[in-house]
């Protein structure tokens, strides 16, 4: 492309807010000033991408998740959104294209600008999915990427757990963090047959979450480490004064690095 034509394209694209460019005319990852999320240079292997102010972006994440050309190796992703009903059906479908994704963080905050008609449309889709769940092929039901090993949810705005937060759809999940929000129950199990494979569980600032130790321990049979902080409706937990419980026997056979723990916590905790 002729240099003058290239500069003209850059000028028009930046003026329209389609992309953000640096002083050399190269596209940047500054999503907060652009209307489309774009990939950087092919040689730059980013393992993490933060998406701020998601509600001002395109209607779905397809502009970002054009995986066939851009993000097949993305392993860690953080998303900040003011949309109360995020992720919607189309968002979940887009996320599943990131086949290498292992760590996902979603933080809800701010005032949602989701249109009422969008909420109604998505709600109807989820009702149809729930209504025909037993008959449907699991491959067509929108869940989070199946290879996730760590899921971090902050300030989840609803009281009921979403359909995608269930042990049957997150069989590879090792670490689950839920902090803040209005969640009153964890992901549903089906006839007691689905058990979480989670080894590390952190629950903080969950005033509405109601569960006793027996129920949680039965749902998380592989649990090694639990951290519970300011969850007043969670009762009869054998945690120490700092809100920590761990299974010393299982911990002895588990590399701490895999759990993102250090030996320093052992001197402050007890079984």
CB proximity list for 31: less than 8 A, separation 6 or greater: 20, 37, 51, 52, 53, 57
Q: Are residues 236 and 122 in the same domain?
A: yes
Q: Are residues 96 and 17 in the same domain?
A: no
pLDDT tens-place values along the chain, 271 residues long: 666 666 666 666 666 665 566 666 666 655 554 544 444 444 444 444 555 554 555 444 554 555 434 566 788 989 998 888 899 888 898 888 888 899 999 999 865 444 444 445 555 555 444 443 443 444 456 789 989 999 999 999 999 999 899 898 899 999 999 999 999 998 665 545 578 999 999 999 999 999 999 999 999 999 999 999 999 999 999 999 999 999 988 888 877 777 777 666 555 554 4
Give the CATH number for residue 254.
Answer: 3.80.10
Q: Are residues 19 and 69 in the same domain?
A: no
Closest CA to 97 of 54, 46, 61, 126: 61
Number of helices (H), then strands (E), in the chain: 6, 10
169 cis-preceded (ω within 30 degrees of 0): no
Q: Are residues 20 and 147 in the same domain?
A: no
Any idea of the CA torsion for 212, 188, 75, 147, to the nearest 10 degrees? 120
| The residue count for the chain | 271
Predicted confidence at residue 129, as pLDDT, reads 45
Q: Are residues 101 and 212 in the same domain?
A: yes
What is the total count of domains within the chain?
2
**Beta strand ranges found along the chain (DSSP E):** 48-51, 76-81, 103-108, 150-156, 175-181, 200-204, 211-212, 225-229, 234-235, 244-246
Predicted confidence at residue 261, as pLDDT, reads 76
Q: Are residues 91 and 193 in the same domain?
A: yes
Q: Quote the domain boundaries for residue 29.
A: 1-44
Q: Are residues 70 and 33 in the same domain?
A: no
Predicted confidence at residue 68, as pLDDT, reads 38
Q: Are residues 204 and 242 in the same domain?
A: yes
Q: Are residues 67 and 12 in the same domain?
A: no
Predicted confidence at residue 2, as pLDDT, reads 62
Q: Are residues 124 and 30 in the same domain?
A: no
């Amino acid at each position: 492309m002729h240099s003058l034509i290239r500069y003209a394209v850059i000028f028009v694209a930046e003026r329209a807010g389609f992309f953000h460019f640096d002083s050399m005319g190269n596209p940047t990852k500054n999503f907060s000033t652009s209307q489309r999320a774009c990939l950087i240079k092919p040689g730059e292997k980013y393992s993490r991408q933060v998406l701020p102010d998601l509600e001002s972006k395109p209607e779905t994440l397809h502009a970002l998740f054009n995986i066939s050309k851009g993000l097949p190796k993305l392993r860690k992703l953080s998303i900040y959104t003011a949309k109360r009903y995020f992720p919607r059906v189309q968002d979940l479908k887009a996320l599943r294209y990131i086949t290498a994704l292992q760590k996902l963080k979603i933080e809800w905050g701010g005032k949602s600008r989701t249109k009422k008609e969008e909420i109604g449309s998505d709600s109807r889709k989820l009702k149809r999915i729930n209504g025909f769940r037993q008959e449907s092929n699991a491959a067509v039901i929108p869940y989070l990427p199946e290879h996730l090993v760590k899921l971090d949810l902050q300030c989840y705005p609803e009281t009921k757990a979403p359909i995608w937060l269930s042990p049957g759809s997150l069989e590879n999940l090792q670490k689950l963090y839920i902090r803040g929000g209005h969640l009153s129950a964890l992901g549903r199990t089906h006839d007691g047959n689905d058990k979480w494979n989670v080894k590390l569980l952190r629950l903080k600032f969950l005033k509405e979450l109601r569960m006793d130790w027996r129920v949680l321990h039965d749902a998380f049979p592989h649990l090694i480490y639990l951290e519970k902080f300011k969850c007043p409706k969670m009762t009869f937990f054998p945690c120490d004064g700092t809100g920590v419980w761990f299974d010393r026997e299982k911990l002895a056979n588990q590399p701490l690095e895999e759990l993102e723990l250090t030996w320093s916590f052992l001197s402050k905790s007890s079984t």
